[in-house]
Amino acid sequence: MDNNLNAIELIHVKKTFGKNAILKDLNLTVKKGETVVTLGKSGTGKSVTLKCIVGLIKPDSGDVMVLGKNIPQLSYEELQYMRKKTGFVFQSGALYDSMSVRENLEFPLKRNTTLNQGEINSKVEEVLNDVGLIESVDKMPSELSGGMRKRIGVARTIIMNPEVMLWDEPTTGLDPETTREISRLIVKMQQKYRVSSIVVTHDMICAKIVANSIVVLKEGTYTERGSYEELERSDDKFIRSFFEEVNNN
């Protein structure tokens, strides 16, 4: 396999907290430009995996390769550089409540780039147009709905032009129609910016819309990988349980 085609590789990754083995043997490849959905129940290690990828948690063993770099072996300076190439969209949107939408979007640019104010203004306008919220540029987060906060969280992430995107339960707490809107936005961002993405979720509405392929995380390892249609035909009771939600909406 040509490693130049891979954005993320997890190779025999293991992580234990105390006596609780969360990640037992993870092996995964995400090609450049691909969106892989990680499907699993709450508490199975989906978010822990994302934190290993961005270096917030160090695995006990195994390799975590991102854009050709082994994350656990990087120095602090090298890790900070890689984080600039990796966008992380949190469940809540993680906006700064004391800052306006404009200030939230300007913050990473002012901290990490040498762009002048005119260039920053152009970037802010572009990403707000991407997420359909240009009219909200001067609102405070408290004035936004849950779906709008998530959209602004996406805008703040893509404004840095990451090569890799990690989505942690992007549709949690949203109604089915807003879930579809956020999921279609994920697809739009992937198509425009050609990022490589991992989306962790238990939401099959989201998975159906965004996934190029789906991996199933169970008992600390990936038990199956396939398309939405392939998994939908599975006889495995654990896998079939995820389809109840989408079939009921």
Q: Map tokens 């120095």 to a residue.
A: 75
Confidence (pTM): 0.87
Which pLDDT score, from 0 to 100, does residue 82 have?
Answer: 92
| Same domain flag for 47 and 26 | yes
Instruction: Provide the 3-class DSSP secondary structure of residue 17.
Output: strand
Q: Is 94 domain-assigned?
A: no
Minimal CA–CA distance to 224: which of 235, 234, 215, 211?
215
Q: Is 8 domain-assigned?
A: yes
CA atoms within 13 A on the CB side of 142: 3
Q: Which domain holds residue 123?
A: 99-160
| Same domain flag for 8 and 130 | no
| Same domain flag for 75 and 171 | yes
User: Is residue 90 packed enough to be buried (19+ CB in 10 Å), middle (13-18) or exposed (0-12)?
Assistant: middle
Q: Is 90 domain-assigned?
A: no
Q: Which of 160, 176, 202 is a domain's end point?
A: 160
- The CATH code of the domain that includes 222 is 3.40.50.300
Which pLDDT score, from 0 to 100, does residue 202 have?
Answer: 83
Q: Is 92 domain-assigned?
A: no
Which pLDDT score, from 0 to 100, does residue 124 have?
Answer: 94
Which pLDDT score, from 0 to 100, does residue 1 have?
Answer: 41
Which pLDDT score, from 0 to 100, does residue 164 have?
Answer: 95
| Same domain flag for 54 and 127 | no
Domain count, the chain: 2
Minimal CA–CA distance to 152: which of 97, 210, 231?
97
**8 Å CB contact between 166 and 53:** yes
d(CA 75, CA 70): 11
| Same domain flag for 76 and 175 | yes
CB burial string 224-244: b at 16+ within 10 A, e below: bebebeebbeeeeeebeebbe
| Same domain flag for 112 and 154 | yes
| Same domain flag for 185 and 236 | yes
Q: Map tokens 């949107």 to a residue.
A: 93
Minimal CA–CA distance to 47: which of 173, 166, 180?
166
Which pLDDT score, from 0 to 100, does residue 245 have?
Answer: 56
| Same domain flag for 77 and 114 | no
Q: Which residues of the chain, if any, have pLDDT below 50? A: 1-2
Instruction: Provide the 3-class DSSP secondary structure of residue 50.
Output: helix
| Same domain flag for 170 and 237 | yes
| Same domain flag for 129 and 14 | no
Which pLDDT score, from 0 to 100, does residue 91 have?
Answer: 67
Kindly report, residue by residue over 129-185, the tens digit of the pLDDT.
988 899 999 999 999 888 888 889 888 888 988 999 999 888 887 888 888 888 998
Q: Is 93 domain-assigned?
A: no
CA 176 remoteness from chain centre: 19
Which pLDDT score, from 0 to 100, does residue 248 have?
Answer: 54
Minimal CA–CA distance to 29: which of 198, 233, 150, 206?
198
Which pLDDT score, from 0 to 100, does residue 246 have?
Answer: 55
| Same domain flag for 156 and 181 | no
Q: Map tokens 């656990």 to a residue.
A: 72
Q: Is 51 domain-assigned?
A: yes
**What tokens does 227 get?**
């398309």
